[in-house]
Amino acid sequence: MVEVNKSNLQSVEEFKQMFKDRRQELLDFSDQGGMIFCYNCMLPKLIVGASGGQVVKLLGMMNIFGYNKSIIDEYLSQGGEEFCTLIKDTFGIGLKKPYPKKMRVTDTATCAALTKLMSMMYMEMPEFGIPFILNIPKRGERELDQKFWYQELHRLKDFCEENTGQKVTNEKLIAGIKQENIKKNLMKELDLLRKGDVIPIKGSECVMVNQQQNWLKFDKYIAQVEKVVKEVRERKQKGISDYAPDAPRVLATDPCFFEPFRGEVEPYRCVKFLEDCGAAVAAEDFCCGVGEHWSNIEEKVNDPDPMATIADYYLNVVVPCPFQTPNTRRLKKCIQAIKELELEGVIYMSTHACKVAAAEARKFERAIEKETGVPTLYIERLGNPDKELIGQLQMRVESFVTMLKDRRKPKNH
Amino acid sequence: MMKGDVIINRNYFAGVDIGSTATKCVVFDSNGIIAGKTIIPTGTNINKACSDVVSICLGSMNVSLDQVKSIVTTGYGRYIPTYSKIILPEIQAIAKGVKWNDVGKKPIPKLILDIGGHDTKALVVDENGNLMKFVTNERCAAGTGKFVENIALIYGYSLEKMAELSFQSTKECKLESHCGIFIESEISRLLFSGCKTENVFAALFLNMIKRVMSIVFKLDYPTNTLYFTGGVSRNPYVVKLLHNYFEEVVVPEDSQLTCAIGAADHAQYKAN
């Protein structure tokens, strides 16, 4: 295994304290009458934010409040072990106490298994109400689908207003769009700073920075990301790189982000594993990587209907998710990243439990090879690095890394 | 040079493949020719397996460790502390091992299949032996050496006997399970229903090959020739079944040592 530079960025380290403080922040917010909206994926958070609510990913809630063990096996008579890690690790929030008094579960119906289990679980917990499920069309290109999605977002808006008692105004939404774009621009800058031989921030750290938006208060999060970008810029100028000079530059991708988050801020282990095998992870595309933050929400002057702008963004610009067919936007963004960041390989991971994600892998691999000439390594994982067949995975990733290095050489031995 | 110093000619290069089932050592002389080879069971003490295989191999050649200029380790135990100076992932080792076997022949791109104890690996190499792409089995060991080995153990047959019997099969039986455990139940069901042993074993190998070919097909590399290595390549019935997919199936000499040969070749390359 390759020794990767361990000198973590100070600004990244500071996320640890922010994470610790978040528990009390949420309890105080709830005690003062604020509403917390928990979700799993794809929720247009800025609509919730415009209603005065705070958004926290369920996975984050589980960790912030210290529930490190999934209770899925206690709840289901059998079959719990077959679900993906994301489902397992978000299952059961609220059954164990303490938790904030005012909490609602809102989710987007991307993964059917996730939606089903969340609904089953929370129907037994009347204090939280029936979970709000935002339906998203499985195909987004039809006019009818677009109308439906627009209506669904209005339903979400009404739900948020009803629960927070605050009106979602156009002004608040426009401000939210602006803030969201600031975040996207910062994250994109972090990606672009990794172009070239000097990679001043590790991929595992970048994923971790990106993921903090799912549980930290958004304005605080953005301020911290600004500090990270500043520090990374300085490192870039000084020529400080986190990887060995000959480490091949790869894109790490997974159609769905599934890494369990075990109650502390640490470099994401699936990406760290690739780094330990000698890869320089110079870009990521999980459900929240280049596919998401390389696409801004359109900022229109005096936007008469920001809800329509947001609806259009989610359905037609981003949604890099395999539940949708066709799912070409994710592929296009990855191709763009490979070309723009001069990447040498792609490591495509998908969870063993998610056959929807696995179904796209071959098509993705072929398209990437055709468009960029870059090879892809496909890895099927359990999702929890502690339970992986590390020996076999290591052999494959190391072989891939060696292959990428060999491709640079003139063809000889 | 001081008076009395002994000059040691370090003219040997060793490759050690520490696999899940067996540990293999191949030693090259200065001309890149195999001067010694040894296979021992890996067992539970990988360190011991590694030092044992090297000393047995060198002992059989009457060569001391001092005479070995470099050692490359590969396989699951490649990070073994004793010899971990140069490490080669086994997929690269296979590519190099097949290329070494090809010395003197016209270099051509190749499709290689390696079936080992726990892994099935399919790889494409260019005419210079450089790895172009590869696929392995995922989270399941069905279709690997152990898949057949377990059945051999349960029913008390040697692998050679299983292959021999399979050639005598007269009627096609079907085994559908890909699970190494549930396949036992299926085999029992077939035997209880009166299927002949040779037909059942032939079905087992057929099941294995279907699994293996689903991996090979992922490479999307049409060719008439397959290079077949790893322990399972010694099984003539598996080779026969592969002929259903390829006009030519090339099994290199010492095919179960391909990985170790590749490692020895790399040791020589690194030393020069």
- Tell me what the pLDDT averaged over chain B comes to: 88
DSSP A385: G
DSSP A388: S
- Write down the pLDDT at residue A226: 97
Alpha carbon B9 to its chain's center: 31
Q: Does residue A339 register a pLDDT over 50? A: yes
Alpha carbon B143 to its chain's center: 14
Q: Does residue B2 register a pLDDT over 60? A: no
Distance CA A347, CA A338 (A): 12
Show the CA angle centred on residue B141, arms to residues B135 and B144, nearest 5°.
Answer: 75
B88: chain A residues, CB-CB within 8 Å: 402
Which residue, among B177, B167, B155, has the nearest Cα to B199 in the 3D structure?
Answer: B167
- Write down the pLDDT at residue B111: 97
Q: Does residue A97 register a pLDDT over 70? A: no
- Tell me what the pLDDT averaged over chain A comes to: 84
Number of CB atoms found within 10 A of residue A197's CB: 12
3-state DSSP call for residue A31? helix
More confident residue, B243 or B77: B243
Q: Does residue A350 register a pLDDT over 50? A: yes
The amino acid that residue B238 corresponds to is V
What percentage of chain A has pLDDT greater than the value 70? 84
DSSP A353: T
Nearest to B128 among A362, A391, A412 (CB): A412
Show the CA angle centred on residue A132, arms to residues A131 and A135, nearest 5°.
Answer: 130
Does B128 sit within 8 Å of A413, measured CB to CB?
Answer: yes
The length of chain A is 413
- Write down the pLDDT at residue B85: 74
ipTM: 0.81
- Write down the pLDDT at residue B5: 59
Which residue, among A206, A192, A214, A318, has the nearest Cα to A252 in the 3D structure?
Answer: A206
Are the beta carbons of A51 and A164 closer than 8 angstroms?
A: yes
**For tokens 């030519």, what's the residue?**
B248
Q: Give CA separation, A294 vs A146, A204, A288, A318, B247, in Å.
A: 22, 18, 10, 9, 49
**Average of pLDDT values for B216-221?**
91
Q: Could you tell me the two tokens for A342? A: 């001069």
CA gyration radius for chain B?
20
Show the CA angle centred on residue B127, arms to residues B121 and B128, nearest 5°.
Answer: 90
B126: chain A residues, CB-CB within 8 Å: 411
Least confident of A39-43, A359-363, B94-98, B198-202: A39-43
Element (H, E) at A403: helix A390-408
Q: Does residue A81 register a pLDDT over 70? A: no
Residues in A 360-379 with any Cβ partner in B closer than 8 A: 362, 366, 375, 378
- What pairs with residue A104 in β-bridges? A37
Q: Residue B81, preceding bond cis, omega within 30 degrees?
A: no
Q: Give CA separation, A279 vs A202, A244, A256, A273, A288, in Å.
A: 10, 9, 21, 9, 21
Q: Residue A98, preceding bond cis, omega within 30 degrees?
A: yes
**Average of pLDDT values for B177-188?**
81
Nearest to B91 among A375, A399, A407 (CB): A399
- pLDDT digits 0-9 by tens, A183-229: 999 999 999 999 998 999 999 889 889 888 888 999 999 999 999 99
More confident residue, B109 or B9: B109
Binning pLDDT at 50, 70 and 90, where does residue A337 land?
A: very high
More confident residue, A266 or A56: A56
| DSSP string covering B121-154 | EEEEE-TTS-EEEEEE--S--TTSHHHHHHHHHH
Element (H, E) at B114: strand B110-115
Are the beta carbons of A16 and A267 closer than 8 angstroms?
A: no
Taking the Cβ of residue A405 and every Cβ of chain B, the question of whether any pair is shorter than 8 Å is answered with no
**Average of pLDDT values for A24-28?**
92
Q: Is the alpha carbon torsion for A268, A271, A273, A279 positive or negative?
A: negative
Distance CA B181, CA A12 (A): 47
Taking the Cβ of residue A391 and every Cβ of chain B, the question of whether any pair is shorter than 8 Å is answered with yes
Q: Give CA separation, A119 vs A110, A130, A136, B247, in Å.
A: 13, 7, 16, 56
3-state DSSP call for residue A372? helix
**Average of pLDDT values for A59-69?**
72
Q: Does residue B172 register a pLDDT over 80? A: yes
Binning pLDDT at 50, 70 and 90, where does residue A336 land?
A: very high
- pLDDT digits 0-9 by tens, A125-165: 666 677 888 888 877 667 888 899 999 999 999 999 999 99
User: What is the pairing mode between strands B110-115 and B225-229?
Assistant: parallel
Binning pLDDT at 50, 70 and 90, where does residue A3 land?
A: very low
More confident residue, A169 or A391: A169
User: What is the pairing mode between strands B12-18 and A103-108?
Assistant: unpaired
3-state DSSP call for residue A216? coil
- Write down the pLDDT at residue B183: 81
Q: Give CA separation, A297 vs A7, A47, A182, A294, in Å.
A: 35, 13, 10, 10
Distance CA A290, CA A14 (A): 24
Q: Does residue A5 register a pLDDT over 70? A: no
Q: Which long-range contacts (CB under 8 A, 24 or more apart) does A12-18 make?
A: A12/A201, A12/A205, A12/A208, A12/A209, A12/A228, A14/A224, A14/A227, A15/A208, A15/A209, A15/A212, A15/A216, A15/A224, A15/A265, A16/A264, A16/A265, A18/A212, A18/A216, A18/A220, A18/A224
- Write down the pLDDT at residue A221: 96
Taking the Cβ of residue B107 and every Cβ of chain A, the question of whether any pair is shorter than 8 Å is answered with no
Least confident of A63-67, A78-82, A333-337, B225-229: A78-82
- Write down the pLDDT at residue B150: 83
Does A389 sit within 8 Å of B130, measured CB to CB?
Answer: no
Does A412 sit within 8 Å of B136, measured CB to CB?
Answer: no
More confident residue, A343 or A389: A343
Q: Does residue A265 register a pLDDT over 60? A: no
Q: Could you tell me the two tokens for A173? A: 């939404």
- Write down the pLDDT at residue A271: 86
Are the beta carbons of B94 and B262 closer than 8 angstroms?
A: yes
Residues in A 251-270 with any Cβ partner in B closer than 8 A: none
Q: Give CA separation, A344 vs A84, A205, B89, B135, in Å.
A: 30, 20, 19, 18
Nearest C-alpha in B relative to A373: B132
Does A392 sit within 8 Å of B119, measured CB to CB?
Answer: yes
Distance CA A70, CA A85 (A): 9
Which residue, among A210, A214, A164, has the nearest Cα to A191 in the 3D structure?
Answer: A210
Element (H, E) at A24: helix A10-31
Q: Does residue A68 register a pLDDT over 60? A: no
**Average of pLDDT values for A178-187?**
96
**Average of pLDDT values for A166-190?**
96
Are the beta carbons of A325 and A312 closer than 8 angstroms?
A: no
**Average of pLDDT values for B228-235?**
92
Does B130 sit within 8 Å of A407, measured CB to CB?
Answer: yes
Q: Could you tell me the two tokens for A358? A: 């696995």
User: What is the pairing mode between strands B248-250 and B68-75?
Assistant: unpaired
More confident residue, A317 or A281: A281
Q: What are phi and psi of A134, to 5 degrees?
A: -90, 115
Distance CA A228, CA A280 (A): 19
User: What is the pairing mode between strands A132-134 and A249-253?
Assistant: unpaired
Taking the Cβ of residue A389 and every Cβ of chain B, the question of whether any pair is shorter than 8 Å is answered with yes
Burial of A48 (0-12, 13-18, 19+ CB in 10 A): buried
**Average of pLDDT values for A59-88?**
69
Nearest C-alpha in A relative to B217: A362
Alpha helix (H) residue ranges in A139-256: 143-164, 170-192, 203-211, 218-238
Q: Give CA separation, B146 vs A129, A315, A395, B202, in Å.
A: 52, 48, 18, 16
**Average of pLDDT values for A302-323?**
84
Does B134 sit within 8 Å of A407, measured CB to CB?
Answer: no
- Write down the pLDDT at residue A101: 76
Q: Does residue A88 register a pLDDT over 80? A: no
